[in-house]
Chains A and B, each alone.
Chain A
Amino acid sequence: MASLRAINRKAKQVAQLHVAEKGDLVGLADPSAAAGKVYHPMGCTLNFTPGWEIDISGGTAGLCQPVERDLFDCYLGCGWPAQVPDHLNNAPDWTDKCSSGANDWRKIDILFP
Chain B
Amino acid sequence: MNRQSVSLSIGVYLLLFVATGMGAAQSTVETEQGIPVNDPLIISKCAGCHARDANGMMRRISYIRTTPEVWEQILKRMVRLNGLVTTPEESRQILRYLSSNNGLAPQEAKPVFWEVEHRLFRTQEEENGVPAPLQMTCNQCHTIGRVLSQRRTAADYVKLANTHMALFPGAEPMVFRPTEQYAHPEDMPVTTTQLNEYEDALNYPPDPPKADTGTKKYPIDAALEYLAKNQPLITPEWVAWKSTIHSPKLAGVWLVSAYQKGKGKVYGEMTVEPASTPDDFSTKTVLHYPDGETVTRTGKGIVYAGYSWRGHATATPNAGPKDPAFPADTREAMLLSADGNTMDGRWFWGGYQEFGLDVQLTRLQKNAVILGFDQFAVKSPSSSDLHIYGANLPVGLTPSDFDLGKGVQVSKVTRSSPTEITLQIAVAPGLPASPHPVSVKGVMAPQTLTVYQKVDYIKVSPDANFARLGGTIAPKQYAEFQALGFANGEDGKPGTADDVSLGPVPAAWSLEEFYSTPKDDDVKYVGCIADSGLFTPNLEGPNPNRKKQSNNYPTENWGDVWVNALYKAQDGETLKARAYLVVAVPVYMHYDQPEVGQ
The judgment on whether A and B are partners is yes
Q: In the complex where A69-B553, A110-B473 touch, is A38 in contact with B577 (Cβ < 8 A)? A: no
User: Is B457 interfacial (CB 8 A cutoff)?
Assistant: yes
With A and B bound together, what is the CA distance between A20 and B522 in angstroms? 15
Type the 1/0 row for A40-54, where 1 means its CB is closer than 8 Å to any CB of B. 111111110100111
User: Is A7 interfacial (CB 8 A cutoff)?
Assistant: no
User: Is B452 interfacial (CB 8 A cutoff)?
Assistant: no
Minimum distance in angstroms from B333 CB to a CB of chain A? 17
Q: In the complex where A29-B458, A61-B516 touch, is A84 in contact with B588 (Cβ < 8 A)? A: yes
Partner of B589, one of A69, A79, A85: A85
Interface residue SS majority, chain A:
loop
The A-contacting residues of B in range 541-596, CB under 8 angstroms, are: 541-542, 548, 553-556, 558-560, 564-565, 575-578, 580, 582-592
Query: Considering only CB atoms, which chain B residue lies closest to A10 in the complex?
Result: B518
Q: In the complex where A43-B352, A81-B141, A110-B588 touch, is A37 in contact with B457 (Cβ < 8 A)? A: no
Query: Considering only CB atoms, which chain A residue lies closest to B518 in the complex?
Result: A13
- Are B464 and A81 interface neighbours, CB within 8 A? no
With A and B bound together, what is the CA distance between A112 and B351 in angstroms? 12
In the bound complex, residues from chain B placing their C-beta under 8 Å from that of A6 are none
With A and B bound together, what is the CA distance between A105 and B585 in angstroms? 13
User: Is A88 interfacial (CB 8 A cutoff)?
Assistant: yes
Partner of B139, one of A46, A56, A66, A106: A46
User: Is A102 interfacial (CB 8 A cutoff)?
Assistant: yes
- Are A52 and B587 interface neighbours, CB within 8 A? yes
Cross-chain pair count, CB within 8 angstroms: 201
- Are A83 and B542 interface neighbours, CB within 8 A? no
Partner of A30, one of B495, B580, B584: B495
Partner of B587, one of A57, A77, A79, A83: A83
- Are A42 and B120 interface neighbours, CB within 8 A? yes
Q: In the complex where A37-B191, A81-B170, A82-B589 touch, is A54 in contact with B80 (Cβ < 8 A)? A: no
Type the 1/0 row for B243-277, where 1 means its CB is closer than 8 Å to any CB of A. 00000000000000000000000000000000000
Query: Considering only CB atoms, which chain B residue lies closest to A90 in the complex?
Result: B80
User: Is B521 interfacial (CB 8 A cutoff)?
Assistant: no
User: Is B38 interfacial (CB 8 A cutoff)?
Assistant: no
User: Is A108 interfacial (CB 8 A cutoff)?
Assistant: yes
- Are B175 and A47 interface neighbours, CB within 8 A? yes
Minimum distance in angstroms from B509 CB to a CB of chain A? 13
Query: Considering only CB atoms, which chain B residue lies closest to A58 in the complex?
Result: B582
- Are B553 and A28 interface neighbours, CB within 8 A? no
User: Is B49 interfacial (CB 8 A cutoff)?
Assistant: no
The B-contacting residues of A in range 65-93, CB under 8 angstroms, are: 65-69, 77-86, 88-90
- Are A42 and B124 interface neighbours, CB within 8 A? yes
In the bound complex, residues from chain B placing their C-beta under 8 Å from that of A27 are 458, 564-565, 575-578
- Are A67 and B141 interface neighbours, CB within 8 A? no
User: Is B67 interfacial (CB 8 A cutoff)?
Assistant: no
- Are B556 and A67 interface neighbours, CB within 8 A? yes
With A and B bound together, what is the CA distance between A40 and B466 in angstroms? 9
Q: In the complex where A37-B190, A105-B541 touch, is A112 in contact with B123 (Cβ < 8 A)? A: no
Interface residues on chain B, number (Cβ under 8 Å): 87
With A and B bound together, what is the CA distance between A44 and B124 in angstroms? 9
Minimum distance in angstroms from A78 CB to a CB of chain B? 5
The stretch that binds A, out of B56-64, B192-200, B382-390, is B192-200
With A and B bound together, what is the CA distance between A52 and B489 in angstroms? 44
With A and B bound together, what is the CA distance between A22 and B443 in angstroms? 53
Partner of B122, one of A36, A41, A82, A113: A41
- Are A42 and B122 interface neighbours, CB within 8 A? yes
In the bound complex, residues from chain A placing their C-beta under 8 Å from that of B564 are 27
With A and B bound together, what is the CA distance between A53 and B123 in angstroms? 14
Q: Which of B457, B514, B587, B592 has the most A CB atoms < 10 Å from its CB?
A: B587
Interface residue SS majority, chain B:
mixed
Q: In the complex where A47-B174, A47-B175, A66-B555 touch, is A29 in contact with B191 (Cβ < 8 A)? A: no
- Are B555 and A84 interface neighbours, CB within 8 A? no
- Are B473 and A108 interface neighbours, CB within 8 A? yes
Minimum distance in angstroms from B571 CB to a CB of chain A? 18
In the bound complex, residues from chain A placing their C-beta under 8 Å from that of B124 are 40, 42, 46
In the bound complex, residues from chain B placing their C-beta under 8 Å from that of A36 are 191-193
- Are A61 and B80 interface neighbours, CB within 8 A? no
- Are A90 and B590 interface neighbours, CB within 8 A? no
- Are A61 and B520 interface neighbours, CB within 8 A? yes
- Are A41 and B192 interface neighbours, CB within 8 A? no
Partner of A43, one of B143, B522, B577: B143
- Are B556 and A66 interface neighbours, CB within 8 A? yes
In the bound complex, residues from chain A placing their C-beta under 8 Å from that of B135 are 46
User: Is A34 interfacial (CB 8 A cutoff)?
Assistant: yes
In the bound complex, residues from chain B placing their C-beta under 8 Å from that of A4 are none
The A-contacting residues of B in range 165-199, CB under 8 angstroms, are: 167-171, 174-175, 182, 188-195, 198-199
In the bound complex, residues from chain B placing their C-beta under 8 Å from that of A16 are 515, 518
- Are A78 and B466 interface neighbours, CB within 8 A? no
User: Is B486 interfacial (CB 8 A cutoff)?
Assistant: yes
- Are B141 and A63 interface neighbours, CB within 8 A? no
The A-contacting residues of B in range 341-359, CB under 8 angstroms, are: 352
User: Is A17 interfacial (CB 8 A cutoff)?
Assistant: yes
In the bound complex, residues from chain A placing their C-beta under 8 Å from that of B76 are 113
With A and B bound together, what is the CA distance between A81 and B541 in angstroms? 20
Question: Which A residues lie at the B interface, using CB under 8 A?
Answer: 13, 16-17, 20-21, 26-30, 33-34, 36-47, 49, 52-54, 56-61, 63, 65-69, 77-86, 88-90, 102, 105-106, 108-113
Can you name 5 A-B residue pairings with CB atoms under 8 Å? A16-B518, A29-B457, A53-B468, A78-B169, A82-B141
Question: Which B residues lie at the A interface, using CB under 8 A?
Answer: 73, 76-77, 80-81, 120-125, 127-128, 135, 139-143, 167-171, 174-175, 182, 188-195, 198-199, 352, 457-459, 463-466, 468, 472-474, 486, 494-495, 514-518, 520, 522, 541-542, 548, 553-556, 558-560, 564-565, 575-578, 580, 582-592
The 3 closest A-B CB pairs, nearest first, are A20-B515, A27-B576, A41-B466
* Additional A-B contact list (5), CB under 8 Å, known A16-B515, A59-B582, A110-B589: A42-B123, A43-B352, A53-B584, A56-B198, A105-B541
